[in-house]
Amino acid sequence: MSRTPDEIVEQWRQARAEGWTTKAIAQHWGAAEDTVRRRLGKTGRRRIKDDDVAQWRQKMLDGWTLNDIAAEWNVSVSTIHRYLGALGLRTRNYHPLTIDEAVAAYQQYGTHKAAAAALGAGVSVLRMRLYESGLGLSAYPGGGPHIKEPGVPNPPRGVRRNEADQT
């Protein structure tokens, strides 16, 4: 036998229809999440309209963050990420540095660190764009951390391989 009055459960149903989450309902009415889940049943995924996805896309292009969009439409960030990712938008950990900018800066400054600093980007972002360029530019200076010719001894302890090659 349930101790939750039917009129409270009806209020929960109305809140659910308005898009409230189980957690929000439980916190608002001071009930356990398990109780709310048990009385309301399974929810499944909320249907997302194509118009909403189009608006999310536009907001993303206007500079809104995923958290801002999620709060505005009362959906999770992962939902927004899933739908915008399906449209081909890069939504996470993406720096707007283009491949052409990365290549030009690398050719001008000669090192990853200097080029990244001049562009205001991280070294790993620059290296990734150089790799994506397909021009054969190494993702690591000196050919990589583990590349050496056979038979060449390792440099002395405390000396980097590239520094040892220059002496």
User: Considering only 59-63, 76-80, 151-155, which range has the smallest mean pLDDT?
Assistant: 151-155
| Residue 100 DSSP SS3 | helix
Q: Find the range with the poorest average confidence among 100-109, 115-124, 153-162.
A: 153-162
Query: Using 50, 70 and 90 to split pLDDT, how confident is the model at 157?
Result: low
Is residue 57 within 8 A of residue 89, CB to CB? The reply is yes
Those residues with Cβ within 8 angstroms of residue 33's Cβ, 6 or more apart along the chain or in another chain: 22, 23, 26
Which sign, positive or negative, has the C-alpha torsion 17, 23, 27, 29? Answer: positive
Chain centre to alpha carbon of residue 30: 34
What was the pLDDT predicted at 1? Answer: 41
150 or 135: whose pLDDT is higher? Answer: 135
Better-scored residue on pLDDT, 155 or 36: 36
pLDDT for 33 beyond 70: yes
Is the pTM of the predicted complex or chain greater than 0.85?
A: no
Q: Please state the domain extents for the chain.
A: 6-40, 50-86, 99-143
pLDDT over threshold 70, residue 19: yes
